[in-house]
Structure 1
Amino acid sequence: MYLPKSFHETRSDVLHALIGDYPFATVIMHGADGLAANHVPLELVGDTALHGHVARGNELAKADGAQVLVIFHGADGYISPNWYPSKHVTGREVPTWNYAVVHVHGRLRVVEDKAWLRELLERLTNRHEATQSKPWHVDDAPEDHIEKMLGMIVGIDIAVERIEGKFKLSQNHPDANRAGVLHGLAGRAGRRDSELATLMQQAEERRHDR
């Protein structure tokens, strides 16, 4: 990944927070027909592993021992040069894109253990159902149905070997331009603009705390 120093994020708490907030990942590996990408919700366990599950027909289910690259995509958005005060003085600004991503490099292990799988499913379900007024639990389904579903999936356990983040959040611009971007995002109020603004504000707070 092209990673200019100003955008390089190394703090584990920041990287882990993005993984937790945006768990739907892209898993890339070199398969029999070349590069293959699959899309899987994953959970970071401690700071050493990513856990998830896939259908038995998924190529990841047959990739025990494979080296993989896992990409977690945070908020992103188009940045207009009109938002920069400096543009209105010099005209020397161009459009760009702000975003935050985390790349995890690791080795995949396929897990067949049904107890491991069930515990994972209960953990994931409890987490993602937590905001529902009446959360669904794995035990709500008939036991024979759960057993059947468990037989149709395998777990994936990815040992984290290297993790890196790229947070491109206008750090290479002066304070006035960063404030202009936040104002522009608030005015546009697109699908992920508020999330992107929050990431920028958090980055600004961390910068001042150093």
Structure 2
Amino acid sequence: MYVPKAFREDDIVQLQTFMQANNFGILVSQQDGVPVAAHLPFILDTTRGSYGTLLAHMARANTQWRLFADAPETLVIFQGPHTYITPSWYDEPLSVPTWNYTAVHVYGRPRIIEDVAEMLALMETLTQQSESRFERPWQFAGLPQDFVEKKLRGTVCFEMEIMSLDGKFKLSQNRPKDDQKRVAATLQASSDPLDQEVAALMKVRQKK
């Protein structure tokens, strides 16, 4: 990912927090020189590895998992809030439109999880993570054993230790201070939740 210095985010805690908040990522592999992708929910274990370890699962019918064994490297993309920025918000008339956005690219080599207990733990953790916002969370535990075993047979679980990562928070940091404040204020006043989220991120990184 092309990341100019002004937009680079290197703080590991910030990047891990971002991945956890935007955990529905895109897993990208290569098959015979052609990119293939899967959209998956991920769990990030921050205690394993220098940058953390990702865990996820996909349908066994999705043959992308068969590419893991021979892949030199696999990419996972996490995307956060993003929005269009019009040059009419700038002082300088000779400007062009752009897009403010946040993204983290993660690289590593996936390893398929064969142990049934590990698979169950992954599924339960992901379920609890997703269900925690509900007043009456659905429980994975208590499902009939034969039903669970059937579902697991149709599932491939995997983990990927993060070997390297790039964080890009493109939030008008390359613009003059007054432009940054004006853009953030305009987005904050918008009725679009994405605009408001970008505005909040901009305010954290605005020039003093």
Could you tell me which of 48, 59, 66 is aligned with 2:63?
59
Name the SS for the 1:173 alignment partner: coil
Could you tell me which of 101, 104, 110 is aligned with 1:102?
104
1:133 equivalent in structure 2: 135
What is the root-mean-square deviation in Å for CA atoms of aligned residues?
1.6
- 1:41 has 2:45 as partner: no
2:7 equivalent in structure 1: 7
- 1:175 has 2:177 as partner: yes
Higher helix share: 1
1:72 equivalent in structure 2: 78
Structure 1 residue 182 displacement after superposition: 1.3
Unaligned segments of structure 1, at least 5 residues: none
- Compared CA separation, residues 45 and 177, structure 1 to 2 (3 A): same
Unaligned segments of structure 2, at least 5 residues: none
Amino acid at match of 2:99: W
Name the SS for the 2:109 alignment partner: strand
Once the two structures are superposed, residues 117-138 of structure 1 have per-residue CA deviations (whole angstroms, 9 ceiling, x without a partner) of: 1101111111111110101110
Amino acid at match of 1:129: E
Structure 1 residue 140 displacement after superposition: 4.4
Once the two structures are superposed, residues 2-30 of structure 1 have per-residue CA deviations (whole angstroms, 9 ceiling, x without a partner) of: 11111111110111111011111111111
Structure 1 residue 33 displacement after superposition: 6.2
Name the SS for the 2:204 alignment partner: helix
Structure 1 residue 48 displacement after superposition: 2.9
Q: Is the 1:51–1:157 Cα contact (8 Å) retained in structure 2?
A: yes
Q: Is the 1:72–1:102 Cα contact (8 Å) retained in structure 2?
A: yes
Measured in 1, the distance between the counterparts of 2:4 and 2:163 equals 22
Percent sequence identity over aligned pairs: 36
Measured in 2, the distance between the counterparts of 1:199 and 1:178 equals 11
TM-score when normalising by structure 1: 0.90
Aligned residues: 202
Could you tell me which of 148, 156, 159 is aligned with 2:158?
156
Structure 1 residue 55 displacement after superposition: 0.6
Q: Is the 2:82–2:194 Cα contact (8 Å) retained in structure 1?
A: yes
After TM superposition, the runs of 4+ consecutive aligned structure 1 residues lying more than 3 A away are none
Amino acid at match of 1:30: Q
Q: Is the 1:62–1:110 Cα contact (8 Å) retained in structure 2?
A: no
Measured in 2, the distance between the counterparts of 1:179 and 1:203 equals 10
Q: Is the 1:63–1:110 Cα contact (8 Å) retained in structure 2?
A: no
Name the SS for the 2:132 alignment partner: coil
Structure 1 residue 199 displacement after superposition: 1.7
Amino acid at match of 2:64: L
